[in-house]
């Protein structure tokens, strides 16, 4: 069985690479074929922006990697059986290859979801496909079945604020999948019509405009928003619904909100607002689900901090790891671990569920 796991971050320097390496080690020890790629650029000696040292990416012999050809060729892992994936990135054509020996590699792979799906097709059955994130980028991770989130003091040195963000993300990531993939079927099942909003809701005013354009003679049971949704904009919709109850269902029977994917809710606006949005939906007696969900495994917490000095250079530091982790844990329900402080066993326990 093939598992596709994404490692995404809430910001740069939150420990994505370290988490990726630990996951690689786990699956290698389980005898899985490893297939690595990155939606950005990772594995270099020094960070492109801060100039600070970075953890290198080591691949075991026999592992596959998808990266720009020039980077596979200059790796000391001696990649062989190189094949063009048909995908190009900013550093040239993306190839897949098999590491002839263990060694370091710089990963630069497909940077969008469609290309990522194409590249994943090159992974063998029974492989663990590991997708390395970049910055706080999430959208290509819709290609993943499971997700580990990396966050920490680089995102915010206040552990309560980190926990608050984790809670919002966790809640969004935990939204259930719609029982019937066809939203129309779902609407029929509850005796109403589908209101389909295409193009997303991510600009201020877009929600109110959408409601103004509605055909008020119809009764909607399912509201399906396709694409990106910004929580502030969606609040406009909810606020309008609160005073215009007839717009959806005069009978006030349960109405279902459907979104495409949890990740579509995390790309625009302040993520933390989703807690308020979801609470409001719940108070209104409506339900929420997504067309396709993702298996959210947990959160790795990194105490690493970064500050910019007066001369423009960056300086690395860290908050007290134990205190930071404990405080985050205290304020979130999401599973968390610091894999450097606690070792990888908690992370491994999440991964065991995929075996």
Distance CA 252, CA 241 (A): 11
Q: Of the two residues 115 and 236, which places its CB atom closer to other proteins in the complex?
A: 115
Question: How many residues bind other proteins, per CB under 8 A?
Answer: 46
Does 161 contact other proteins by CB under 8 A?
Answer: no
Residue choice 251, 308, 333, 349 for contact with other proteins (CB under 8 A): 308
Q: Which string of x and - marks every residue 214-253 that binds other proteins (by CB under 8 A)?
A: -------------xx-x-----------------------
Nearest CB to other proteins, comparing residues 213 and 250? 213
Q: Contact 204/232 with Cβ under 8 angstroms?
A: yes
Q: Binding to other proteins by residue 146, rule CB under 8 A? A: no
Site for other proteins in 84-143 (CB under 8 A): 88-91, 108, 111-115, 134-140, 142
**Residue 261 CB-density burial (10 A; 0-12 exposed, 13-18 middle, 19+ buried):** buried
Pick 139 or 151: Cβ nearer other proteins: 139
Considering only the stretches 54-62, 69-77, 214-222, 238-246, report the one whose residues sit in contact with other proteins under the rule CB under 8 A.
69-77
Q: What is the 3-state secondary structure (H, E, C) of 147-174?
A: EEEEEECCCCCCHHHHHHHHHHHHHHHC
Contact 192, 224 (CB under 8 A): no
SS3 state of residue 71: helix
Residues 6+ apart with CB under 8 A from 57: 17, 20, 21, 36, 42, 43, 104, 105, 106, 107, 132
Is-contact 130 35, C-beta < 8 A?
yes
**Is 38 or 337 the residue whose CB approaches other proteins more closely?**
38
**How far is Cα 36 from Cα 258, in angstroms, rounded to an integer?**
32
Residues forming contacts to other proteins in the complex (CB under 8 A) are 11-12, 39-42, 44, 48-50, 68, 70, 73-74, 88-91, 108, 111-115, 134-140, 142, 199-200, 202-203, 227-228, 230, 263-264, 267-268, 306, 308, 314
């Amino acid at each position: 069985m093939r598992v596709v796991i994404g490692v995404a971050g809430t910001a740069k320097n939150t420990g994505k690479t370290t988490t990726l390496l630990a996951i690689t080690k786990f699956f290698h020890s389980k005898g899985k074929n490893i297939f690595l790629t990155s939606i950005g650029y990772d594995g270099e000696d020094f960070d492109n922006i801060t100039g600070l040292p970075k953890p290198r990416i080591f691949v075991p012999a026999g592992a596959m990697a998808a990266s720009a050809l020039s980077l596979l060729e200059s790796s000391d892992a001696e990649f062989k059986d190189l094949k063009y994936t048909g995908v190009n990135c900013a550093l040239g054509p993306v190839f897949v290859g098999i590491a002839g020996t263990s060694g370091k590699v710089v990963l630069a792979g497909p940077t969008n979801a469609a290309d990522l799906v194409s590249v994943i097709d090159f992974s063998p059955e029974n492989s663990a496909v590991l997708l390395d994130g970049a910055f706080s980028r999430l959208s290509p991770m819709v290609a993943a079945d499971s997700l580990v989130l990396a966050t920490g003091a680089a995102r915010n040195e206040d552990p309560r604020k980190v926990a608050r963000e984790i809670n919002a993300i966790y809640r969004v990531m935990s939204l259930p999948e719609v029982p019937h993939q066809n939203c129309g079927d779902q609407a029929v099942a509850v005796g109403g019509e589908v209101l389909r909003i295409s193009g997303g809701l991510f600009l201020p005013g877009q929600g109110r405009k959408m409601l103004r354009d509605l055909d008020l003679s119809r009764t909607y049971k399912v509201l399906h928003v396709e694409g990106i949704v910004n929580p502030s904009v969606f609040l406009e919709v909810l606020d309008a619904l609160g005073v215009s109850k007839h717009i959806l269902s005069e009978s006030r029977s349960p109405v279902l909100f459907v979104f495409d994917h949890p990740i579509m809710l995390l790309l625009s606006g302040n993520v933390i607002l989703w807690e308020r949005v979801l609470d409001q939906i719940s108070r209104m007696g409506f339900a929420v689900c997504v067309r396709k969900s993702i298996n959210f495994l947990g959160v790795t917490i990194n105490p690493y901090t970064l500050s910019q000095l007066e001369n423009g250079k960056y300086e690395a530091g860290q908050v007290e790891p134990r205190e930071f982790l404990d405080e985050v844990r205290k304020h979130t329900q999401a599973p968390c671990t610091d894999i450097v402080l606690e070792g990888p066993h908690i992370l491994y326990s999440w991964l065991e569920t995929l075996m």
